[in-house]
Amino acid sequence: MRRLGDVIPLPASVRPVTDATFRTLPGTTVSAPPGLAAVAAHLGQPLADDGAIRLVLDPALASEAYRLEITAESVTLTGGSAQGVYWGVQTLRQLGPDLPAGIIEDQPRYGYRSAMLDLARHFFTPAEVEAHIDLLAQFKINHLHLHLTDDQGWRLEIPGWPRLTEVSGGEGTGCDGTGPGFLTLTEYADLVAYAAARFVTIVPEIDMPGHVNAVQVAYPELTADGEPVEPRTDAEVGYSSLVAAKEETYAFVETVLKTVADLTPGPYLHIGGDECHSTPAADYRAFLDRVLPLPGALGKTVIGWHEIAAADLPTGAVVQYWRIEPVDDAVARAAADGHQVIVSPADRTYLDMKYDADSPLGLDWAGHVDVRRAYEWDPAERLPGVGEESILGVEAPLWSETLRSVADVQYQTFPRLPAVAEVGWSPRDSRDWESFRERLAAFGPVWTAAGINFHRSPEIDWH
């Protein structure tokens, strides 16, 4: 049996009270008000008016907070909103059928706890992404950033620009030409709804002005000289750019962002902005001066990779920090101006880095990221001038240059994603590597039974 606190991410407060146990049997009933019926279904137990497991809403709690009171006879799970109750359900599911008596009071450190999946370098189907969302939500991840476009492919249908997906989402696209496919408008909307039912917000990214070779293959009028360019399936970066001085550029960008905004109930649109090595600095700024305000005009908050901090940021713009070390102080200046920062340093959170020299998949430009490196760091200590109050949250990006299957996605994700999830959720002072590696060890048999392909890191004494 697990101890009450044997949960990832570690709850904010855990108080075992007696050595009594609540035993969940197949017939154990759950009661929930109508607004929590959908959340109750995630417990997989029968519903009843007077259930032994009671789900309750208490708006006095923060919306993601929950409180779990376990006695030998009953379980009461109270949440500040349906989302808070849902996180409590994840805690219950991790604890298994035998629940130690006691009280857990829990709420996240950061409101933005995210994973990113790169559908451009290799496309994953809606069913594959949905299964991945289920695994992320178990660790209380509440955003999934989808990198939908890059040099090697374009993965979202855009009305009026059919060649984006016909050509750049078709056969032969993706790294090594092995990752074709795209989401239709309906598939995308269904995916957003599937995620929302698990309290995960989809954050769509359209990467620009760089990372656009796939756009320019489909529409040569968007290149500087209007000449066609060759499709690319290699993993180079920084060679393609939209043209800041062409009006056609903005007609294209406006249609794309409007389409994505209309499909996206969540508050964020990510416009990329990274690695524009072939865009002159003045053009980069001119482009962003036109494009950064567009999401706001569509009712959305704009996010960009931290390079956008070189431009004039509109109020509310969010900056996503990804580098190994600070290049300059632009992110700190943005924070001083009141901008929120998503912290995703490559040498800690990049799930596409190799674990060690023997890793079969992944890249190593940011070094090797083993489980301990993904765990033992603090977002508020990472960047001078970017303290706790400037941090929106953390993200673990998974770029897919070397990935060819869902099994590959899982191998890179587990067990590092749980480490980053705990960094984003648990109180700073409660985090402890020895405690984490013990709690993580218990997931070995769980993942094995579920058929999840995880890396059996030698840092963990797997059960």
- Identify the residue among 130, 275, 283, 329 touching ligand TNX (CB under 6 A): 275
Q: Given the complex with ligand TNX, which of 257 and 271 has the nearer CB atom?
A: 271
Three-state secondary structure string covering 403-450: CCCHHHHHHHHCCHHHHHHHHHHCCHHHCCHHHHHHHHHCHHHHHHHH
| Paired strand residues for 23 | 98
Strands 143-147, 149-150: pairing kind: unpaired
- Identify the residue among 322, 355, 443, 454 touching ligand TNX (CB under 6 A): 322
Task: Tell me the per-residue interface mask from 176 to 215 with ligand TNX, x by CB under 6 A, - otherwise.
Answer: ----------------------------------------
Check 105, 275, 376, 459 and give the catalytic one.
275
Question: If you search the block for the tokens 């374009």, which residue do you land on?
Answer: 154
Strands (E), 178-247: 201-208
Residue 316, CA distances (Å) to 72, 254, 267, 297, 335 in order: 48, 20, 11, 12, 11
CA dihedral 293, 295, 297, 298 (to 10 degrees): 170
Which residues between 229 and 258 bind ligand TNX (CB under 6 A)? 237
Q: Given the complex with ligand TNX, which of 6 and 118 has the nearer CB atom?
A: 118
Question: Minimum Å distance from CB 353 to ligand TNX?
Answer: 7
Q: Report the sign of the C-alpha dihedral through residues 409, 157, 284, 317, in that order.
A: negative
Helix (H) or strand (E) holding 75: strand 75-79
Question: Minimum Å distance from CB 275 to ligand TNX?
Answer: 5
The answer to whether residues 311 and 333 touch, using CB atoms and an 8 Å cutoff, is no
For ligand TNX (CB under 6 A), the number of binding residues is 10
Q: Given the complex with ligand TNX, which of 104 and 403 has the nearer CB atom?
A: 403
Question: Minimum Å distance from CB 367 to ligand TNX?
Answer: 11
Concerning whether 389 is annotated as a catalytic residue, the answer is no
Question: Minimum Å distance from CB 162 to ligand TNX?
Answer: 26
Q: Given the complex with ligand TNX, which of 14 and 309 has the nearer CB atom?
A: 309
Q: Given the complex with ligand TNX, which of 87 and 321 has the nearer CB atom?
A: 321
Which residues between 381 and 410 bind ligand TNX (CB under 6 A)? 399, 401
Q: Given the complex with ligand TNX, which of 234 and 381 has the nearer CB atom?
A: 234
Rounded to an integer, what is the distance from CA 350 to the centroid of its chain?
A: 11
Question: Minimum Å distance from CB 457 to ligand TNX?
Answer: 20
DSSP state of 353: B
The answer to whether residues 432 and 387 touch, using CB atoms and an 8 Å cutoff, is no
- Identify the residue among 64, 157, 274, 408 touching ligand TNX (CB under 6 A): 274
Question: Minimum Å distance from CB 355 to ligand TNX?
Answer: 14
Q: Given the complex with ligand TNX, which of 72 and 324 has the nearer CB atom?
A: 324
The answer to whether residues 262 and 157 touch, using CB atoms and an 8 Å cutoff, is no
Contacts 24+ apart (CB under 8 A), 35-39: 35/82, 36/82, 36/85, 38/82, 38/197, 39/82, 39/85, 39/86, 39/89
Question: Minimum Å distance from CB 287 to ligand TNX?
Answer: 17
The answer to whether residues 371 and 440 touch, using CB atoms and an 8 Å cutoff, is yes
Contacts 24+ apart (CB under 8 A), 314-320: 317/292, 318/268, 318/342, 318/392, 320/270, 320/344, 320/395
Counting DSSP H helices and E strands in the chain, the numbers are 16, 16
Q: Given the complex with ligand TNX, which of 57 and 308 has the nearer CB atom?
A: 308
Question: Minimum Å distance from CB 271 to ligand TNX?
Answer: 12
- Identify the residue among 305, 411, 414, 436 touching ligand TNX (CB under 6 A): 305
Q: Given the complex with ligand TNX, which of 140 and 211 has the nearer CB atom?
A: 211
Q: Report the sign of the C-alpha dihedral through residues 436, 437, 438, 442, in that order.
A: positive
> Could you tell me which of 158, 161, 180 has the C-alpha nearest to residue 169?
180
Which residues between 340 and 369 bind ligand TNX (CB under 6 A)? 350, 352, 363
CB count within 10 Å of CB 99 equals 23
Question: Minimum Å distance from CB 274 to ligand TNX?
Answer: 3
DSSP state of 171: T
Question: Where does this chain bind ligand TNX (CB under 6 A)?
Answer: 237, 274-275, 305, 322, 350, 352, 363, 399, 401
- Residues catalogued as catalytic: 275
